[in-house]
Amino acid sequence: MTCDEYRDKLLAWEGIEPPPPVRAHLESCTSCAAFARRFETAREALRDHRAEHQPDPYFARRVSALAAGGSDPLGWAAMKLLPVTLTLVLAMSAWCWLATPGPSELFEQAPTEDLLGWALEESGS
Amino acid sequence: MDGVACISAMADDGAIEPQSEEARLIAACRKGDSDAFADLVRLHERRVFRLAGRFFRRREDLEEAAQETFLTAWTKLHTYRSEAPFEHWLTRVCLNCCYARLRKTKPAEELIADRVEAPAADADARLEVEGLLRTLPPEDRFVLLLLHGEGWSVSEIGERLGWSRAKVKVRAFRARKKLRRLLEEAST
């Protein structure tokens, strides 16, 4: 195996100690040994990369207030009620359309004669 | 005594099962009960802070990531199937929030380490390596932190993130390749 292949094996190794063939190579190759040390330092840095902050006592309350303000669950509930809402809207639209009299009905209902009489009286003729 | 403390005390006495209480809280949250949601957050906030703390060192970043996790959980709660533990589902939400947030963060803003705890003799090497890690793209740092920080295998990462094994393998391969190049360039 070449140094390149040993380094690939070292990087892909998920255990703690590298496998025996890689360890044997590191003992004989100073360049790969230096690389392995830097890689180990990088692994340590990644392992230690952790913040130890704890949530403050009001965190949960703050988040739940934000969630309630966002009203997304209500939005979700509204989505569940969407078919009912649509049916109601359609039913009301149909009722409005049917209940509204057409031009001929309006003409029949219009107090034409009363208006005409009133207009004639007003004009004094 | 708040809701969660009361639940914990009752669970300790064996009076109730914590999972069934969690299921009750989830059901209440689905109906829009924000008090139940506050209790659910209290049950899981430490776990979420611990996981998000792997990617963000500054308190404000960590808190925002945790907040985003819980708000996403609140809005997407209807997608949670109760066959799997809620904790697993929340872990996935948290990881995805951290990943998205990390990708938006400029490398200079997120410090890989604000203090060096290594022995003085190694401190220089450690600082140098940490500087190199900072230059890695966020996607690569994310995968490396899960592999070497959390110590998860490729399969575990895939399972927890909802990524395919092939996708994790490709990301891990790329990240390791970039790390290798950085480490080699630094030594020349």
Q: What is the CATH number of the domain that holds B122?
A: 1.10.10.10
The helices-and-strands tally (H runs, E runs) of chain A is 8, 0
Mean pLDDT over all residues of chain B?
83
Asked whether residue A39 is domain-assigned, the answer is yes
Our count of domains for chain B comes to: 2
Residues B42 and B101 in one domain: yes
Q: Which residue ranges in chain A fall short of pLDDT 70?
A: 70-79, 125
CB atoms within 10 A of CB B59: 14
Residues B120 and B98 in one domain: no
B70 contacts A73? CB cut-off 8 A: no
List helix spans (H) across chain B: 3-12, 18-30, 34-52, 59-75, 86-104, 120-134, 138-144, 154-161, 165-187
Residues B85 and B111 in one domain: no
Q: B172 to chain A: nearest residue by CA?
A: A12
Q: What ipTM goes with this model?
A: 0.75
Of B54, B87, B105, the one marking the end of a domain is: B105
The predicted pLDDT at position B26 comes to 93
Q: Report in angstroms the alpha-carbon separations of A95 from A81, A88, A98, A124, B23.
A: 21, 10, 5, 45, 45
Residues B57 and B80 in one domain: yes
The predicted pLDDT at position B96 comes to 94
Q: In this structure, which amino acid lies at residue B126? A: R
Looking at CA atoms only, how far is residue B48 from chain A in angstroms?
9
A53–chain B Cβ distance below 8 A for any pair:
yes
Domain of residue A31, residue span: 3-48
Asked whether residue A88 is domain-assigned, the answer is yes
Q: Which residues contact B153 (CB under 8 A, 6 or more apart)?
A: A14
Closest Cβ–Cβ partner in A34, A49, A73 for B145: A49
B16 within 8 A of B45, measured Cβ to Cβ: no
Task: Label residue B93 by pLDDT band (50, 70, 90).
Answer: very high
Instruction: Flag whether pLDDT at B106 surpasses 70.
Output: no
The predicted pLDDT at position B7 comes to 45
The predicted pLDDT at position A70 comes to 66
Domain of residue B71, residue span: 1-105
The predicted pLDDT at position B132 comes to 82
Residues B65 and B86 in one domain: yes
Residues A42 and A80 in one domain: no
Of B75, B105, B135, the one marking the end of a domain is: B105
Our count of domains for chain A comes to: 2
Residues B95 and B147 in one domain: no
Residues B14 and B70 in one domain: yes
Residues B86 and B116 in one domain: no
Residues B17 and B60 in one domain: yes
Looking at CA atoms only, how far is residue A89 from chain B in angstroms?
25
B144 contacts A46? CB cut-off 8 A: yes
Closest Cβ–Cβ partner in B54, B126, B176 for A11: B176
**Chain A residues close to B130, C-beta within 8 Å:** 45
Give the model confidence (pLDDT) of B29-87 as tens digits.
Answer: 998 899 999 999 999 999 999 999 999 988 999 999 999 999 999 999 999 988 889 99
B126 contacts A44? CB cut-off 8 A: yes
**Chain A residues close to B74, C-beta within 8 Å:** 67, 70, 72-73
Residues A80 and A119 in one domain: yes
Residues B95 and B114 in one domain: no
Nearest Cα neighbor of A12 from B43, B172, B31 is B172
Asked whether residue A66 is domain-assigned, the answer is no
Residues B129 and B167 in one domain: yes
Residues B141 and B120 in one domain: yes
Of B105, B140, B163, the one marking the end of a domain is: B105
For helices B34-52 and B59-75, the axis angle rounded to 10 degrees is 130
Give the model confidence (pLDDT) of B120-146 as tens digits.
Answer: 557 777 778 888 888 888 889 999 999
Closest Cβ–Cβ partner in B34, B113, B147 for A49: B113
Give the whole-angstrom CA distance, residue B45 versus residue A52.
Answer: 13
Give the model confidence (pLDDT) of B3-45 as tens digits.
Answer: 444 444 444 454 445 568 899 999 999 988 999 999 999 999 9
Give the whole-angstrom CA distance, residue A24 versus residue A43.
Answer: 21
